[in-house]
Amino acid sequence: MPEVTYQTSLELPVDKIWDFVQDMNNWAPFMTGYQSHEIKSETRSIWTLKGDVGILSRTVQLDVNVTEWAGPERVVFTLKGLNEDVDGGGTFTMRQTPAAAPAVAGGVDPRGSADSEGSGAMALSGRAPSELSVERPAPKGLWHRFVAWLMRAMTGGAKKSMKDDDLRDDPASPAPSASAAGVETAGVEGAARSRPAERSGPAAPVVLELKLRMDAGGPMAPMLNAMLGPACAEATEALVDSIAARLKVLHG
């Protein structure tokens, strides 16, 4: 039994593709050898095709029945020859491909990774600028203050006696001056302003796929099926590409 599958991708919302595919009146004329079709019900229609291969060397009528509407993802149908010993079926499938990671200006990922070695608070810390904090030195204890005073005294650049401020073991770090605070705040705000802006990448494409199978019966079945394979492949490719081209015209 010849069975072929063909697919293409479209950068369109899947619901727009579904809206087009679910109405066979939109794409029936794209079938290879199409002559006409007649809608019998919501799920049944009669197709008239004319071909040049094997059993399709003359006009063939096919009874098409939709057995599953699973929008916006899948349509399953069966085919049954009315004037020829042939049957088959197929499946239209529409599936969204996984979305790509967001494109970021400067090649820096907003989560803190980078695609190349670079500078910047976010790239180095692995945190967003809004999460950055300015680290102040740890408070000096009595011993550290004494050693600092002694070194200054030995080099002649220190005061000759230690004042209470030098000996006080104050665990709280001194409040920064207005100018220092201004510098620290400006540093954080500058990092926030320099945060790379995310750019919306292209929409994840939707894969439109058609699987089609045809099976000829009767004493000539082996030979006819051998010829049906290439014919089905050509018809499937032409139909899917024609649908894609029409959707691009409709939706740009």
Terminal Cα distance for the chain, rounded = 38
Write down the pLDDT at residue 12: 93
CB atoms near residue 154 (< 10 Å): 9
Q: Locate tokens 């040049």: which residue?
A: 52
pLDDT digits (tens, 9 = 90+) for 29-74: 999 899 999 999 999 999 999 876 555 567 899 999 999 999 899 9
Q: How many helices (H) and strands (E) does the chain have?
A: 7, 9
Q: Secondary structure of 64-100 in the HEC alphabet?
A: EEEEEEECCCEEEEEEEECCCCEEEEEEEEEEECCCC
Model confidence at 209: pLDDT above 50 = yes
Write down the pLDDT at residue 99: 62
Q: What angle do CA 162, 168, 171 make, to 5 degrees?
A: 145
Model confidence at 137: pLDDT above 80 = no
pLDDT band per the 50, 70, 90 thresholds, residue 145: low
Correct CATH for 3-98+204-251 of 3.30.530.20, 3.40.50.720, 3.30.160.20, 3.40.50.300: 3.30.530.20
Q: Which residue has the higher pLDDT, 2 or 99?
A: 2
Measured distance CA(34)–CA(85) in Å, rounded? 19
Strands (E), 82-130: 86-96, 103-104
Strands (E), 114-233: 198-199, 206-216
Strands (E), 162-205: 198-199
pTM above 0.85, yes or no: no
pLDDT band per the 50, 70, 90 thresholds, residue 204: confident
pLDDT band per the 50, 70, 90 thresholds, residue 229: confident
Query: What residues form DSSP beta bridges with 214?
Result: 88
Model confidence at 235: pLDDT above 80 = yes
Query: Where does 84-177 have alpha helices with state H?
Result: 121-125, 142-154, 164-167
Measured distance CA(83)–CA(213) in Å, rounded? 18
Say which amino acid occupies 106.
G
Strand, helix or coil for residue 95? strand
In this structure, the strands spanning 86-96 and 206-216 are antiparallel
Model confidence at 176: pLDDT above 60 = no
Average pLDDT rounded to a whole number, residues 93-120: 54
Indicate the burial class of 153 (C-beta count within 10 angstroms; 0-12, 13-18, 19 or more): middle
Q: Which residue has the higher pLDDT, 177 or 9?
A: 9
The full set of domain ranges for the chain reads 3-98+204-251, 123-194
pLDDT band per the 50, 70, 90 thresholds, residue 179: very low
pLDDT digits (tens, 9 = 90+) for 67-88: 999 989 999 999 999 998 999 9
